[in-house]
Structure 1
Amino acid sequence: MVSKVLLSTGIAVLGWLTISKLRRASRSGQRRARKVRRPEALQSSEPDEISVVCYNLLADVYATPKRYPYVRPEWLAWPHRWAALQQQLASFGADVICLQEVEPARWQEIVSSPALAGYTGLLQDRGRGSDAAPVITNALLWRPDKLGLVWSESRSRALLAAFVFWDGVGQQQLLYVANLHLEGSPYRPNDRISQTRSALQRLEAHQLSHGLSPGDAAVVVCGDFNSGRHETVCSFLHRGRLEGGTTEPHLPQVEVTKTTIAHPYALHEAYSSGGVELPFTRKHVCRTPLLLRLMEAVWHRPWAGGGAAAAAAAAGGRWWLRRRGRRICAWRGPRVPSLASSLDFIWASCNLEVTALYVPVEARHQGLIAHQALPNQHYPSDHLPIGAVLKLKHFYVEAFGDAHPPQPPAPGDPPQAIQDFEGL
């Protein structure tokens, strides 16, 4: 009896050791994505690769001193921000650029900029707004020498599109892109889930209506989710379902969905899959400059320096600064590590492998971005861009593995068989 127990225990231990070894081998065999740091361009290098960038521009109507009292007014002015935005857009080099917070009144200025030479654009149609709620939309930019647009649809919080492109074996493939800008109120997670579900349902409906299997489609879902990686939107995308009665940890009184919902896509988050930490994409400042401004307003003379303390606090000064024989209070040190958050994501279907990931902060700005909020003199939005190079996986049948595929078209040739997809 004892020998049987020892034998079964030994078999169990051996099995556990074997499984652990296989898991370690599997993890060690995973490919880490290459890092592409600004200002290096995030370009695809193979026909099977598509590079995607996601960027919330910060609409000019929102870039006001009232919303960003800790930012110097000249850094919020459109001429300064537009010059910096053009530099940022020109540096991407991506095949697809997904933009959020685009003002229709500035769309022609954006799409006709020399920084976007070689791109074609599409603006989301959200109808007319009001003075109280101006229309802010999403937009797509793409390189027509790599991709051809065959379908698009505007939803309330999403711009959906399908593109055709040549793969590495000379065949045309479809890529679906969902560019989202979800509800921003922290008290309305149910709206964010509803908007995400609606976008995925429209993708699925379009694919099914044309005889395409949603589970096999190449899909990219990206944008400003206004929620973190541990909240329900990312959980829904990752798991493929969300049970009825689910709530957010910070808002247990609001059910994000009353019934169980699901979608057919197997999705993975690009930065996690590529083995690169997702950078924070949104950052606010603490209220120290606001307190100092109040102090200076009350004791403008002789204690304050005419706004110097608040300016130093926003820019990163010292606790005590001598000016004209007086000491004025200023702040130095990390401003907002606890308030930095990741709200922007790129999710891709599992038939798209991550080969490169974008690092949005230049090496020379690492120290500055750790001490300053967004926007600032170098980064014109309150969000940082993210991006990925995605490679289409091919699955070959063994019996035809030695067949010689047709030669792909010459580099730069636009998709010529786009008429095959005109009915989409």
Structure 2
Amino acid sequence: MPPPHREWITVENDTSEDDQDKFTVLCYNILCEKYATSQVYGYTPSWALNWDYRKELIISEVLNYNADIVCLQEVAMKQYEEALGDAFKDRGDYDGVFFPKSRAKTMADKERRAVDGCAIFYKASKYDLIEHHLLEYNQKALQRPDFKASDDIYNRVMTKDNVAVMIVLENKETLARVLVVNSHIHWDPHDADVKLVQVGMLMDELDKFASKHLKPPTTSPHGPTYASTTQLPTIICGDFNSLPDSGVYEFLSKSTIRQDHADFGNYMYGNYTTEGLSHKLSLKSTYSSVGELDITNYTPGFKGTLDYIWYTNNTLDVMSLLGGVNQEYLDKVVGFPNPHFPSDHIPIMAEVRLKSPRREKNEEPNFGFNSRR
């Protein structure tokens, strides 16, 4: 039997009837069609592993949650351009931004369309897209002089073609802006060093991108001005392939990590392994206040939390969270995907509220968000 619906967890009781400053974010690794093979997922009935079946479950699941912002990983270019993209735009009022992994640039058209990447969808009636940006980790590593002297960069980081997508959205009514990031970090559990390096580059690039959007765009000159990149509301979604006790989680949540952290191993990565890593943002995982979910990825070989929605807790408050999957149900199934769950990951979702930003004198008050929920 299918499990009971996942319950919502209230984190902060909201007595305000004004929804202008709320929005919802969904994060979901949907398991790309080409990775969903019977060799890997032999416990899944072939009909439940078939993309046509899984596709419809994914579409209905995402549309039913009706999030304002949807970050998906492992989206094939073909599916973004066709089934998924069309369904979300036609039936869900979404526009989107998509970039495939770096290997797509070297392929013929047919092969390129099977390459997966990261997509961000947003409610077109609610937001205007101000700018989007692609971070290719292997290409960014080449641009750093301190990395060029490291053999480990060429042997370990350059061979991984993961990407991150960044966008700045502007609320059509309030003109408040939010920076949204979506990434899929390298998967191999033996490569903790690569994950740390990728997330280090992610935070470096995020700061540069954010600094371009502190002042309102020329199209909306009356929007708010943010004093620094730390004041721009920021959401970072992704499959980080990292557990809560990992260096990646420590770095994001504590803003710093030592140059000799165990996850770096004996590898050398320029300033990262001589000075350590740091970033400017005050980040928290949305689920950290109630405890991370027991699982976001569930297979016979692995059960644990790999997916996160990070937020700047000085600019945003978490109001509620989508709870986990019923434990009695989990105890009865071998793993995902299965007839009820179309991916080996489950979606995670948070409702957040924008705090009042710092304002210049004489600035109009309340640059919040308007939610249709």
Name the TM-score class by shorter chain. 0.7 to 0.9
How far apart, in 2, do the equivalents of 1:407 and 1:185 lie?
42
1:33 corresponds, among 11, 18, 29, to 11
Paired positions, count: 310
Structure 1 gap ranges (5+): 1-30, 36-43, 287-338, 413-424
1:344 aligns with 2:318: no
Q: SS of 1:128's equivalent?
A: helix
What's the CA shift for 1:149? 0.9
Identical amino acids, percent of aligned pairs: 25
Partner of 2:79: 106
Query: RMSD value over aligned CA atoms?
Result: 3.2
How far apart, in 2, do the equivalents of 1:96 and 1:409 lie?
12
What's the CA shift for 1:209? 3.9
What's the CA shift for 1:138? 0.3
How far apart, in 1, do the equivalents of 2:251 and 2:368 lie?
37
Which digits, 9 at most, give the CA deviation of each residue in 1:45-69, with x for residues without a partner? 7110110000000000000111111
Partner of 1:269: 285
2:25 corresponds, among 52, 65, 72, to 52
How far apart, in 2, do the equivalents of 1:352 and 1:407 lie?
13
Q: Is the CA contact (8 Å cut-off) linking 1:352 and 1:391 kept in structure 2? A: yes
Which digits, 9 at most, give the CA deviation of each residue in 1:66-121, with x for residues without a partner? 11112121111112111211221121110000000000011121111168431111
1:136 aligns with 2:116: yes
2:234 corresponds, among 194, 219, 235, to 219
Partner of 2:181: 178
Q: 1:100 to 1:410 in 2, by over 3 A?
A: closer
Displaced runs of 4 or more, over 3 A: 129-134, 209-212, 251-257, 403-412
What's the CA shift for 1:202? 2.0
Partner of 1:371: 332
How far apart, in 2, do the equivalents of 1:210 and 1:106 lie?
31
Q: Is the CA contact (8 Å cut-off) linking 1:128 and 1:135 kept in structure 2? A: no
Partner of 2:68: 95
Quick check: which has more Rg, 1 or 2?
1
1:198 corresponds, among 193, 201, 213, to 201
Structure 2 gap ranges (5+): 1-8, 137-162, 215-225
Q: Is the CA contact (8 Å cut-off) linking 1:360 and 1:385 kept in structure 2? A: no
What's the CA shift for 1:226? 0.5
Q: SS of 1:340's equivalent?
A: strand
Residue 121 of structure 1 aligns to which amino acid in structure 2? G
What's the CA shift for 1:360? 5.1
Which digits, 9 at most, give the CA deviation of each residue in 1:191-235, with x for residues without a partner? 212222222222211233455511111011111000101101111
1:240 aligns with 2:262: no
Residue 161 of structure 1 aligns to which amino acid in structure 2? I
